[in-house]
Structure 1
Amino acid sequence: MLVSVIIPTYGRPDLLSDAIESVRAQTHDPVELVVVDDHSPVPVESELDVAAGDDLRRLRFVRHDENRGANAARNTGIRAAEGDVLAFLDDDDVWKPTFVERVVGAFETVPSEPNVVTTGVESVDGNGELLSVIRPSFGDDPLDDLLAGELAGSFSRFAVRASVVEAAGLPDERFPCWQDWEWQFRLARHGAFHAIPDALVVHRIGDHDQITDDYEARRDVAYPLFLEKHRDHVAERGRWAERRFLALLSRSLGQSALRNGYRGEAVRLLAASLRWNPLAPRTLLFFGFAVAGRSGLETARSVKQGVVRRLH
């Protein structure tokens, strides 16, 4: 089974080099690697001394003629890929050597024949010290799990069968954030998810530039677009499913408001989430942070950074 690995990148050749080396170190063969340079100030291919070899079936660099964003870069990679499985690696993350092997094994042997396979992740600081471990869990109904707050995680953590992309569509480039999450809601309509709980991805939290938690972009663009694309489909499952969906989005937006200092909006959004679903302990927790003021804000930010281990 040929696996196409897609790495979007912009102006971080040192981090990108580590990501590429982690792909080279994979125990599964064959692997195709597509690096999409989203118009870095200096073309990344010229800054790296890498070439295809026995450890990679094929290595390609594709460069955008203008900066178009990470999702556009991923979509460029998807269109260029030739593999049976598509896996995505952010340039500031790395995989452990068995990531691809374990993912392919799940695609080939799990009885539910999943279209999506996800793994656990370790978050580490700039010194490599472990901050947190997240271990996913999915059952027979991936949409139900997503409504319960389970995540297949960031793009670095999950892979998809290439054959499902035509049915589900490409990642939506209109989203300034939540791109991975929104795509998972669409993928969940087309087959099973499978979770490998072992942490096979290492996410590095450091001083390098990362996608910021832009609350206003979430509130004004991502949130209404998410509702528009998925509310009606979820509502087909009944009123309780719709309430859980509305509660989940309100909570996610409320958490972002809290982390970015919009305390009043955080209280309002988290209270609305509790009205939709009073049984969600995580929402109660963050509502308490919001009401607590400054001390709650600092705790909420530490949860975002991975200092506090996963909360349910």
Structure 2
Amino acid sequence: MYISVIIASVGRPQILGETLKSVARQKRSPDEVILVVNSQADLPIAPVFGIEIKTLFSERGSSIQRNRGLENTSPLSDIVVFLDDDVELSEDYLSKVENYMELNPDVVGFSGIPVLNRPQDGLMPHSVAREILKAQPLSPFTHTDQKGLYGCNMVSRTYAARREKFDENLALYALLEDRDFGIRLRKYGRVTEYSGARVIHLGTPGGRVSQRQQGYTQIMNPAYLYKKGQGYNISDIYHGPIKSFFANVAGVLGLSKSLTPNDPAYYNRSERLHGNFIAMRDILRGKINPQGVRHVRK
């Protein structure tokens, strides 16, 4: 199988460099690595040895950047792996990806289940994450059907990814573009999560959108996806914007320690709530458009 790896990144060159080193350490090397950034300043200062990297420059936005990468994959590509720029992969990650897709021809896409997600409030170094993955005992692998995918690591058969692509109306950080993409992939087969492809999602803060813009997308993006249809339903609305809104209210009222005890330190619930209200105002005015986040003051 020909495996393409695509990483979109903006404003985090040091973090990105460590993730690329993790890709370079793979026992099963990728057949191509495509890096999509906004400018030269986004690129790691130190070279990453061991892999060839194709670098593309694109308008900012994870959906847009991932699509540019997808459009430039090799005609030979069988599988495309979309990685966040702040993940540490087990050294057998790509070999497990290949093996799983070969043994499960009915699976069109999956996400590896993170061993840890945003450990130490997103401040865990790559080196520590790497040692945790090496020390973790292997357990029986599980896989279960899912409605969508989880964006830190998404695997798709390339033919299906090319047909569906990511929704570029979901601007900038593009909250929920992973779930929407995974839902649409189900036209072609099963979408699952698989514990054998081990990854730690560091969840490193910085370089993305402001907390106010994040709050805007918490309300606007689910409303847009619900209006668009294609599988996003009332249950998703409850588990998405409603829970986010009340978590932000709890934070502002000083109740976050009891209701949301695992909040990273960099969450600003007041700013997120402000963004929630801006999105609600736009929706009440009939403006259900995720591009509105571009006009929210940082």
TM-score for both structures, normalised by structure 1: 0.68
- Measured in 1, the distance between the counterparts of 2:200 and 2:15 equals 13
SS of structure 1 residue aligned to 2:107: coil
Q: In the superposition, relative to structure 1, how do residues 204 and 29 fare at CA in structure 2: closer, same or farther (>3 Å)? A: closer
Q: Which residue of 1 is the match for residue 288 of structure 2?
A: none
Aligned residue for 1:255? 243
Matched, 1:158 2:164: no
Deviation of 1:84 after TM superposition, in Å, equals 1.2
Change in Cα spacing, 1:207 to 1:164, as seen in structure 2 (3 Å) is closer
Task: Write the distance in 2 (CA, Å) between the matches of 1:180 and 1:218.
Answer: 14
Runs (5+) with no aligned partner, structure 2: 130-135, 266-298
Q: How far, CA to CA, are the matches of 1:210 and 1:11 in structure 2? A: 8
Is 2:76 the counterpart of 1:73?
Answer: no
Does the 8 A contact of 1:103 with 1:118 survive in 2? no
Instruction: For CA contacts below 8 A with separation 6 or more, give which structure has more relative contact order.
Output: 2
Q: Give me the whole-angstrom Cα distance separating, in 2, the residues matched to 1:302 and 1:31.
A: 42
Whether the 8 Å CA contact 1:136–1:196 is kept in 2: the answer is yes
Give the aligned partner of residue 61 of structure 1.
Answer: 55
Counterpart in 1 of 2:103?
Answer: 109
Over 3 Å counting, the alpha-carbon distance change for 1:97 and 1:74 in structure 2 is same
Instruction: Give 1:138's aligned amino acid.
Output: T
Describe the superposition over 1:65-122 as per-residue Cα deviations: whole angstroms up to 9, x where unpaired.
xx42121111111111112111011112221111111111111012x52111221101
1:66-145 alignment runs, 5 A limit: 67-82=59-74, 83-110=77-104, 112-121=105-114, 122-123=116-117, 124-125=119-120, 126-128=123-125, 137-139=143-145, 145=146
In the alignment, the residues of structure 2 paired with residue 206 and residue 162 of structure 1 have an alpha-carbon distance, to the nearest angstrom, of 28
SS at 2:144 equivalent: coil
Structure 2 residue 224 is matched with structure 1 residue 225: yes
Counterpart of 1:6, as a letter, is I
Amino acid in structure 2 at the alignment position of 1:103: V
Give runs of aligned pairs for residues 147-226 of structure 1, distance below 5 A: 152-154=149-151, 156-167=152-163, 169-175=164-170, 176-198=174-196, 200-211=198-209, 214-219=214-219, 221-226=220-225
Query: Between Structure 1 and Structure 2, how many residues are aligned?
Result: 243
Change beyond 3 A, Cα 1:193–1:206: closer
Please tell me the residue identity of whatever aligns with 2:168: E
- 1:260 is paired with a residue whose SS is helix
Which amino acid is 2:227 matched to? E
Supply the AA of the counterpart residue of 2:202.
Answer: R
Contact 1:215 1:253 in 2 (8 A): no
Please list the CA deviations of residues 199-239 of structure 1 after superposition, one character each: whole Å capped at 9, or x if unmatched: 611111445445556222332x3122111222xx54xxxxx
Unpaired segments ≥5 residues, structure 1: 140-144, 235-241, 264-288, 307-312
Q: Give how far 1:305 is off.
A: 4.4
Cα pair distance change 1:208/1:87, threshold 3 Å: same
Deviation at 1:250, TM superposition (A): 2.2
Give the partner amino acid of 2:11: G
